[in-house]
């Protein structure tokens, strides 16, 4: 086996790239990068009934968004079928596999008897050849060792030992001659030169069976690391009701790719007490020892906290690029409170310094910028209408209009000084002038700071919106 670290992400193309798969891909990618190795992608599409081109594209797009780029073109498992069959025949010739035929009812009876005896099932053909008339209908089974134990030396789980009499003779080739996943994954990992298999711990039992195939073929074992699965906040296995969405859906919800990488890395792996882990530091620090044994729990609030950090600390050009990509998404807009086609990126860019301060997602940021794109007359929500209906509000707004018309320089410092001077001169608290001004300018009681609102709208637009009230 090569001295160069080679990892792989091997999804089945039966759906989107879910968050658990994205984390597995990240761990494989990060380990390869941390060790100056290679990260490969294998599409395990042997299940023709469930595999779709749409799912393949969703997986590729999800990896692309997360910037987890494979170092070579993807390998499609279905295209390696002749090689899988070749190895199955090699195992047959070496006596490590056998042809077996039994009806479904016979197989069930064998398994029932094995369960009663507390051992793995053994099938007809293992100890003597089957009748010639059954050859065409037969499957090829692996002749698993009966005595002894198989130990998985796992980098996360530690040594896991399974008695061989608990592992039955798995099918290598189906009766139609097609290879099964259990054979294909071993052959493909060997042929691709995979040195480290990093995957979910739901493959742990499969791993023991695969080790037996490796040993029967005389092949060097890769290093195994089985990651605990992700659970929901209630401790149950992660599902859609917990927010287990496709990776790309998190993009449409306004999460940044680097923030997602940071969050996924911390979802079951740690480097001391670090919570904010930029990608360059992830590559520098990532190792298998940092992976936790206990299942990680999906925590959307923590994801939002991390995403907010990256939004606040991203430069304006990066944010505009991310927002532009977000706007182009066909399914974007479900959480946006206005038409995305109204968004003007040049106008938005000028306001990013304060819009990003409290935003946990890009969608939240864009919603807070809604006031920038409203046309006169504005529509007012219920709370804004209630504020504007107060008796003293028209007089306050007229006075503010006169002051704002004479603002010498339209800078935030000048606007702030003018508003505070106006409040003091009229004997008003600032809380009496800011809410109606915010309502008249944005149509809402919720917006960025009033100085930021006035500054970003500009003097002319601000005065127009106040005038439109009278």
Q: What is the pLDDT of residue 239?
A: 63
Residue 318 lies in a domain: no
Domain that holds residue 25: 6-69+185-228
Residue 233 lies in a domain: no
Q: What is the pLDDT of residue 334?
A: 74
- Which two three-digit tokens encode residue 327? 């706007």
Range name among 76-90, 153-167, 227-241, 371-385 with the lowest pLDDT average: 227-241
Residues 169 and 203 in one domain: no
Which strands sit side by side in the sheet containing 149-154, from one edge to the other?
158-163, 149-154, 223-227, 196-200
- Which two three-digit tokens encode residue 303? 């994801």
Residue pair 120/208 in contact by the 8 Å Cβ criterion: no
Q: How many CB atoms lie under 10 A from the CB of residue 161? A: 10
Residues 56 and 130 in one domain: no
Residue 136 lies in a domain: yes
Q: What is the pLDDT of residue 1?
A: 58
Q: What is the pLDDT of residue 133?
A: 76
Q: What is the pLDDT of residue 242?
A: 55
* Cα–Cα distance for residue pair 439/388, rounded to 1 Å: 7
How many Å separate Cα 251 from the centre of its chain?
A: 9
Q: What is the pLDDT of residue 287?
A: 97
Residue 327 lies in a domain: no
The mean per-residue pLDDT over the stretch 445-465 comes to 94
Q: What is the pLDDT of residue 195?
A: 98
Residues 164 and 106 in one domain: yes
Q: What is the pLDDT of residue 14?
A: 85
Residue 244 predicted with pLDDT over 60 = no
Residue 25 predicted with pLDDT over 80 = yes
Q: Give residue for tokens 């990068």.
A: 33
Which neighbouring-strand residues pair with 43? 76
Q: What is the pLDDT of residue 194?
A: 98
Residue 220 lies in a domain: yes
Residue 215: pLDDT band (50, 70, 90) is very high
Q: What is the pLDDT of residue 356?
A: 95
Q: How many CB atoms lie under 10 A from the CB of residue 407? A: 17
Residues 157 and 94 in one domain: yes
The mean per-residue pLDDT over the stretch 165-176 comes to 94
Residue 217 lies in a domain: yes
* Cα–Cα distance for residue pair 125/143, rounded to 1 Å: 10
* Cα–Cα distance for residue pair 198/288, rounded to 1 Å: 9
Q: How many CA atoms lie within 13 A of 111 on its CB side?
A: 11
Residues 396 and 455 in one domain: yes
Residues 386 and 455 in one domain: yes
Residue 290 lies in a domain: no
Q: Quote the mean pLDDT of the chain.
A: 93
Helix (H, G, I), strand (E, B) or coil at 293: coil
List, for residues 94-151, the tens digit of each pLDDT value.
999 999 998 889 899 999 998 888 888 889 889 888 887 788 889 999 999 999 999 9
Residue 240 predicted with pLDDT over 70 = no
Residues 98 and 137 in one domain: yes
Residue pair 15/249 in contact by the 8 Å Cβ criterion: no
- Which two three-digit tokens encode residue 79? 């295209």
Q: What is the pLDDT of residue 2?
A: 66
Q: What percent of the chain has pLDDT over 90?
A: 79
* Cα–Cα distance for residue pair 220/212, rounded to 1 Å: 11
Residue 442 predicted with pLDDT over 90 = yes
Q: What is the pLDDT of residue 121?
A: 87
Q: Where are the beta strands (DSSP E) in 244-315?
A: 296-297
Statement: the pTM of the whole predicted model exceeds 0.85: yes
- Prior bond to 407 cis, omega within 30? no
For residue 162, the domain's CATH number is 3.90.800.10
Residue 210 predicted with pLDDT over 90 = yes
Structural domain ending residue among the three candidates 109, 143, 173: 173
Residues 165 and 200 in one domain: no
Active site residues: 240
Residues 162 and 104 in one domain: yes
Residues 190 and 152 in one domain: no
The mean per-residue pLDDT over the stretch 262-285 comes to 96
* Cα–Cα distance for residue pair 79/42, rounded to 1 Å: 11
Residue 82 predicted with pLDDT over 80 = yes
Q: How many CB atoms lie under 10 A from the CB of residue 402? A: 10
Number of compact structural domains in the chain? 3
For residue 414, the domain's CATH number is 1.10.10.350
* Cα–Cα distance for residue pair 388/363, rounded to 1 Å: 28
Residues 65 and 41 in one domain: yes
The mean per-residue pLDDT over the stretch 198-220 comes to 96
Residue 388: pLDDT band (50, 70, 90) is very high
Residue 298 lies in a domain: no
Residue pair 445/384 in contact by the 8 Å Cβ criterion: yes
123: left (phi over 0), alpha (psi -120 to 50) or beta: beta
How many Å separate Cα 98 from the centre of its chain?
A: 42
- Which two three-digit tokens encode residue 32? 């390869």
Residues 55 and 200 in one domain: yes
């Amino acid at each position: 086996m090569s001295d160069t670290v080679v990892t792989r992400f091997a999804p089945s193309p039966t759906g989107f790239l879910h968050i658990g798969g994205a984390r597995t891909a990240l761990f494989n990618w990060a380990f390869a990068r941390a060790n100056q190795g290679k990260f490969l992608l294998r599409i395990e599409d042997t299940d023709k009934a469930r595999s779709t081109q749409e799912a393949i594209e969703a997986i590729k797009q999800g990896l692309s968004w997360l910037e987890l780029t494979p170092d070579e073109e993807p390998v499609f498992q279905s295209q390696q079928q002749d090689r899988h069959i070749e190895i199955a025949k090699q195992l047959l010739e070496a006596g490590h596999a056998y042809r077996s035929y039994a009806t479904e009812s016979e197989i069930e009876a064998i398994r029932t008897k094995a369960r009663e005896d507390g051992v793995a099932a053994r099938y007809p053909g293992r100890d003597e050849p089957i009748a010639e008339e059954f050859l065409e209908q037969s499957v090829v089974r692996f002749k698993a060792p009966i005595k002894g134990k198989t130990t998985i030396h796992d980098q996360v789980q530690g040594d896991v030992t399974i008695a061989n009499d608990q592992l039955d003779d798995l099918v290598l080739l189906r009766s139609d001659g097609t290879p099964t996943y259990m054979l294909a994954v071993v052959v493909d990992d060997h042929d691709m030169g995979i040195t480290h298999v990093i995957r979910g711990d739901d493959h742990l039992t499969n791993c023991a069976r695969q080790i037996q195939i490796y040993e029967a073929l005389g092949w060097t074992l890769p290093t195994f690391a089985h990651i605990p699965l992700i659970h929901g906040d209630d401790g149950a296995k992660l599902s859609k009701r917990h927010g287990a969405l496709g990776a790309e859906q998190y993009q449409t919800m306004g999460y940044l790719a680097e923030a997602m990488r940071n969050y996924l890395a911390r979802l079951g792996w740690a480097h001391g007490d670090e919570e904010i882990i930029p990608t360059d530091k992830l590559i520098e620090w990532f190792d298998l020892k940092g992976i936790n044994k206990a299942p990680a729990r999906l925590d959307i609030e923590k994801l939002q906290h991390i995403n907010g950090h990256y939004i606040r600390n991203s430069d304006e050009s990066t944010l505009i690029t991310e927002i532009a990509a977000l706007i182009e998404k066909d399914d974007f807009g479900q959480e946006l409170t206005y038409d995305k086609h109204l968004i003007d990126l040049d106008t938005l860019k000028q306001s990013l310094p304060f819009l990003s301060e409290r935003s946990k997602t890009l969608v939240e940021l864009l919603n807070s910028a809604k006031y920038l794109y409203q046309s006169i007359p504005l529509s007012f929500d219920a709370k804004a209408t209630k504020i504007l209906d107060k008796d003293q509000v028209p007089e306050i707004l007229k006075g503010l209009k006169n002051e704002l018309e004479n603002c010498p320089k339209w800078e935030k410092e000048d606007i702030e000084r003018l508003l505070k001077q106006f409040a003091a001169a009229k004997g008003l608290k600032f809380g009496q002038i800011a809410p109606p001004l915010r309502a008249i300018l944005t149509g809402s009681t919720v917006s960025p700071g009033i100085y930021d609102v006035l500054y970003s709208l500009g003097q002319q637009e601000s005065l127009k919106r106040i005038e439109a009230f009278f």
